[in-house]
Amino acid sequence: MEVDNLVPCQEAEAIPQEEEMEFCEQAHEEKMTKELISLHLLNQSLNRLEQRVNMLEAQFHDLQCAAGELTQRLEIQGETLVRQANHDNMWISLLEDRFNTMELNIFYSYAIEMLSFLHSQVVRKLPNMAGYLPTFASILRNKSKSHEISQVWDAVLENLELQEDHVKTLCTFFITHCYEAKYYTPSEREEYVDNISDMILTVVKNHTLMKSLLCAVKILEKKKTEKIMDNPKEKS
């Protein structure tokens, strides 16, 4: 009887072991499930974070482009304002210079001859556009629209060793005094003054106008000398 009583006890001990194993398996499955859920949630979070980062990068790129365009526009506007301010100062300075009638007429005559010479040099290199460029003003208006005219204009200035600012100053001087000044021919100018360069250095206070007039005198006197050498009879 004692042996028979041992069998149920062994069976009773086996049942808890099976339950424990089943419990462990369930716990393991639950753990795996939780880990899978956690991994899935983590992947979702990472995807959302990546999307957010990509969106922020795109926004940052757009902001950079917008900032670059704004900076460029501000730089252009700033340069325009500086040029306008310099131009205004040049006008004011030219109006402040006081010349007597003879001085004004002589300077005006050199300015108008220089502008006329520039016009002839451009038209000579563009004979097919002569009708399209009847005046010096027409060259200034169209050189920004035509690459060909702009190239010739730059070549003429370079050949004459003349700068754009010199031309602008002569134009400003011409516009400022065209209603009161009178044109003197070269022979008339020679009657009034022996050395025009010395006169400019002595009388003209505006440095930009001084340099521009000196350049004009140098170019026109050189042109006159070359013309005399080509036509010796004109010297007599």
pLDDT at position 1? 46
pLDDT at position 176? 87
pLDDT at position 79? 56
Q: DSSP string of 143-177?
A: TTT-HHHHHHHHHHHHHHT--HHHHHHHHHHHHHH
Of the candidates 105, 132, 104, the one whose C-alpha atom is nearest the C-alpha of residue 119 is 132
Domain that holds residue 185: 99-235
82 and 140 fall within a common domain: no
Burial per residue of 194-210, b for 16 or more beta-carbon CB atoms within 10 angstroms, e otherwise: eebeebbeebbebebbb
Instruction: Give the up-direction half-sphere exposure of residue 185: CA atoms within 13 A in the CB hemisphere.
Output: 2
64 and 145 fall within a common domain: no
129 and 153 fall within a common domain: yes
Tokens 């899935």 identify what position?
40
160 and 131 fall within a common domain: yes
Instruction: Give the up-direction half-sphere exposure of residue 189: CA atoms within 13 A in the CB hemisphere.
Output: 21
The number of distinct structural domains making up the chain is 2
Q: What is the mean pLDDT of each run of 10 residues along the chain (236 residues)?
A: 50 59 68 71 77 79 71 59 55 68 95 96 93 92 92 95 92 90 92 93 90 95 80 56
pLDDT at position 163? 93
pLDDT at position 236? 47
103 and 183 fall within a common domain: yes
pLDDT at position 82? 52
The alpha carbon of residue 126 and the mean position of all alpha carbons in its chain are separated, in whole angstroms, by: 28
8 and 66 fall within a common domain: yes
pLDDT at position 61? 78
Q: What are phi and psi of 11, to 5 degrees?
A: -65, -40
